[in-house]
Amino acid sequence: MTTTVERRLPSVARVCRTRAGVELKEFFRQRESVVFTLMFPVILLLVFGAVLNYDLGSGVTFTQYFMAGVIAAGILGASLQNMAIGIATERSDGTLKSLAGTPMPKSAFFVGKVAQVFVVTVAIVVILLVIGVVFYGIHLPSGTDWLTFAWVAALGSAACTLLGIAVSSLARNGRSASATVTPVALVLQFISGVFFQFSQVPTWLQTVASVFPLKWMAQGLRSVFLPDALATQEPAGSWELGRVALVLGIWCALGLVLCVRTFTWQDRTDR
Amino acid sequence: MRSATPLDPDAAISVRGLVKRYGRSTAVAGLDLDIRRGEIFALLGPNGAGKTTTVEVLEGYRDRDGGEVRVLGVDPATGGRLWKADLGIVLQSGAGDSQLTCLELLRAQAAYFPDPRDPAEVLELVGLTEKAGSRGRTLSGGQRRRLDVALGIVGRPRLLFLDEPTTGFDPEARRQFWALIRSLRDLGTTMLLTTHYLDEAEELADRVGVIAHGRLVEVAVPAELGGRGRAPATVSWTEDGARRTTETATPTAFVREMAGRFPGEVPDLAVARPTLEDVYLRMIGDPRQ
């Protein structure tokens, strides 16, 4: 007779570490994701910085303004676009179904994704800041601005990660997710004050943009990179940091509800 | 609907009256099944017969609409991580694309299980040792399928589900795969195999079950499925320039009698029993039969 040995499952923390390693390798070894998610904001910064280096008044260059926008766009790419495309791909090719058939704790999968978003986001922010400082003489934030930077980035990133996971369920596969999410992200970038000053966006489009998290992320980051004198150019005449936190918080809650209600480990067409 | 016989508590898999509906269509209509510990059981059936649905209920992927199911003594609908640790699942769709190397994938998979096999040994077992450092997505179809099997067995499962594991294999790869499956059986692994290759079922399975219209039509050892062991033999030969065929329950006597009529060899003599494919096609109601 075989004796029954009390077998102990590996700890959740250990599986989380394994998943984080898997997710980082999956991201950084894939040329498409590295180019689109990591390099795209860098290229934007280089191109816009070279072409549009005019003065916004108060001695602030456009690049200083653009820094906030391109970081917000980078966070959007690392979280929403990355999650939507990545998870849609994994759902359609059977990766998720396979994982669901193992004793991997489901939470570890999401921890791995969060680790991926975190590392990619930090990488994007660091690269953009270094390029900004070295090539365009960007003034880095100081003192408590860093704190604002941290919470706006973290809250925005959380909201967009949850939204990305939710949006992945709408797409049939990674390619269709990319075809849906990429244009939406681009339009949001245009109307949310990433590429040019938000005050130049027509009012009705400002209203549309105000529904989505990107506008609030960009606005919160502008408070970090721009002198307070420029707050008068914002729609409300101030940085509205309280409202930034509120809207991003609401998006987190909404994204979480959507994820819980829509996430599946299997393709809907799989029968 | 209550089944006459109770669930078999000692079986690896025990199913009574399984029902699964999709909308108004019934995919599984009261299926009973017992798979013994340590055996290789092949589930045969045409596409749409309810094969994959049944297996996915057993694997815990799908809810059922009726019936009792025990897999390793546990109801799959409530099976937790420890229960899953005893299963190995090789899906028809495979394990997906990856940028990780074969060895990295196996190491990650092993990290989910309490008592995994050594990833390098598993690669050796499926014949992918030279591909240890190759990324998952660069493998050929057959190599990828072997990687799927490797991922399925690295957790040291007591019960292994194999859904059409040899699709896309060349004949030599299939023979190697069959040897692998036999060595896993020797280690005591129970296996539920679904396949479209009847020779594969005949080669590997201790018992085969045929599923049609959502029910298990018959369960038997491969040599006796559909009354195959008792079925009349077909004797054929050439006489007067024409091909003759006769069905007989006593082929030996028939051939002995015929040998007397011919001066020497009986031209083109052949004695055939129905193949597994013949009885299978008859059972699932193939219109060609």
Chain B CA closest to residue A5: B115
pLDDT attached to residue A6: 65
More confident residue, A54 or B31: B31
Cα dist from A105 to A14, A267, B81, B155, whole Å: 11, 20, 7, 15
pLDDT attached to residue B288: 44
**Of A217, A194, A171, which Cα lies nearest the Cα of A79?**
A217
> B50-101 pLDDT, tens per residue?
899 999 999 999 999 999 999 999 999 999 999 999 999 999 887 778 899 9
Q: Is residue A267 part of a domain?
A: no
Q: How far apart are CA A248 and CA A210, in angstroms?
A: 11
All structural domains of chain B with their residue ranges:
37-59+81-226, 232-272
A46 touching chain B per CB within 8 A = no
pLDDT attached to residue B289: 40
Chain A CA closest to residue B109: A102
Q: Is residue A4 part of a domain?
A: no
Q: What phi and psi values does residue B262 have, to the nearest 5 degrees?
A: -100, 140
pLDDT attached to residue A41: 93
Structural domain count, chain A: 1
Domain range holding A137? 12-262
> A70-119 pLDDT, tens per residue?
999 999 999 999 999 999 999 999 999 999 999 999 999 999 999 999 99
pLDDT attached to residue A115: 97
Question: Taking a C-beta distance cutoff of 8 angstroms, is the pair A213, A160 a contact?
Answer: yes
Residues of chain A found within 8 Å of residue B60, distances taken between Cβ atoms: 101
Pick the CATH number of B37-59+81-226 from 3.40.50.740, 3.90.550.10, 2.40.33.10, 3.40.50.300: 3.40.50.300
Give the mean pLDDT of chain B.
89
Q: Is residue A118 part of a domain?
A: yes
For residue B152, give how far its alpha carbon lies from the nearest alpha carbon of chain A (Å): 9
B87 touching chain A per CB within 8 A = yes
CB–CB contact B22 A271 (8 Å): yes
> B214-239 pLDDT, tens per residue?
899 889 898 888 777 777 888 999 88
Report the range of poorest mean pLDDT among B125-139, B219-233, B247-261: B219-233
* A7: nearest CB among B59, B89, B115: B115
Residues of chain B found within 8 Å of residue A266, distances taken between Cβ atoms: 61
With 50 as the cut, is the pLDDT of residue B287 above it? no
Q: Is residue A21 part of a domain?
A: yes
pLDDT attached to residue B279: 79
Give me the residues of chain A with pLDDT under 70, please: 1-6, 269-271
For residue A31, give how far its alpha carbon lies from the nearest alpha carbon of chain B (Å): 10
Residue B1: pLDDT band with limits 50, 70, 90 = very low
| Residue to substitute from B37, B87, B90, B98, interface A, most A β-carbons within 10 A | B98
> B148-202 pLDDT, tens per residue?
999 999 999 999 999 988 877 788 878 888 998 998 999 899 999 998 888 899 8
Report the range of poorest mean pLDDT among B4-18, B164-178, B203-217: B164-178
pLDDT attached to residue B4: 64
Cα dist from A209 to A75, A215, B111, B206, whole Å: 17, 6, 44, 65
With 80 as the cut, is the pLDDT of residue B118 above it? yes
